[in-house]
Amino acid sequence: MMSHTLRNHPCNLPQGTVITGKWHRHSYKLLKQLGSGANGVVYLAESKKGLVAVKLSDDHASVTSEVNILRRFSKVQGVALGPSLLDVDDWMNPFLHQTVPFYVMEYIKGESLPAFIRKHGKEWVIILLLQLLAALDQLHQEGWVFGDLKPENLLVSGPPPTIRLLDVGGTTLQGRAIKEFTELYDRGYWGLGSRKAEPSYDLFAVAMIMITVCSPVKLERKGDGRSQLLSIIQKDTILRKYENILLKAIDGKYKRASEMRQDILAAFHRSSRSHDQQPARHMKQASRRSQKRKRRKGKGVLETVLIAAVLLCVYAIYVYHQMLP
């Protein structure tokens, strides 16, 4: 028997519920809830073609808006902006005798961005954010702003590791007021800008994502937001390398995601060159020391340094190719 809560919320359904579309007659067995929000509930479901994600909502206008956004996403070639749209239909809730609109999306297997970084290391932050910026640039060129951009709305699928955008409910036409936001990633909360839907709003959120993923500090605004964020950036070894870029995004000075992406690439290359030069300096020092030691021992040190330098170069080339859009 359904609880009082479930009876009174047409989108809260028990595991095992089968919903069948009124028009297309496709059936979906709900396996578990993946997430919920102001505009509905998303379930993992089983269909004839495999696992899918189903979103139900009692807000017809919201469903229509999100479906239109997903359709626009699908027209952008070469960049996986979000999950593919598979079906749109209505379902008659037999418990409430109420029509509930829903749509079906591709189920993207993967792990959250923070979980991926904890497992594989903070070095991956740059690679994945470069992918994210490429996707956002395409979205912005289509006239949209993602809006509610945060780690929870980013999934890393693969291999190869690929970042994907989830939950398009906050996506807003440029020029309008942001529909949905999360305080920590909202420049208005930090006193660093408006909630007008424009590319710089998303790019502020990208900077905040990088800060929160890299820094162990639990963020909460205390006093002057900019000074607080600058202090956190300067205390982290990775964030410090991209300080100027992060501050430029925080201050709303980037007009396009592609500009921020190019600056990150340039900073990464500078960092890579400095790492490449260190083994070379060590090789010279080792060579000088070897003249004062036994020839056999000096040769072993030099070979070790050479191997280390080669491995470092190979790693740098690998990372560079991973960053290409």
Torsion of CA 205, 210, 214, 216, to 10 degrees: -10
Spatial contact of 115 and 98, defined as CB atoms under 8 Å apart: no
Q: Which amino acid is at 191?
A: G
User: Would you state the structure tokens that stand for residue 51, as one six-digit string?
Assistant: 């696992």
N-terminal to C-terminal alpha carbon distance within the chain = 51
Among residues 148, 167, 186, 236, which one is catalytic?
Answer: 148
Q: What is the DSSP string of 230-292?
A: HHHHHHSHHHHHTHHHHHHHHTT--S-HHHHHHHHHHHHHHHHHHHHHHHHHHHHHHHHHHTT
284 assigned to a ligand binding site: no
Tokens of 167: 């939950």
Farthest-apart Cα atoms in the chain, separation: 90
The answer to whether 276 is a known catalytic residue is no
Residue ranges of the annotated binding site for ATP are 55
Catalytic residues: 148
Residue ranges of the annotated binding site are 55
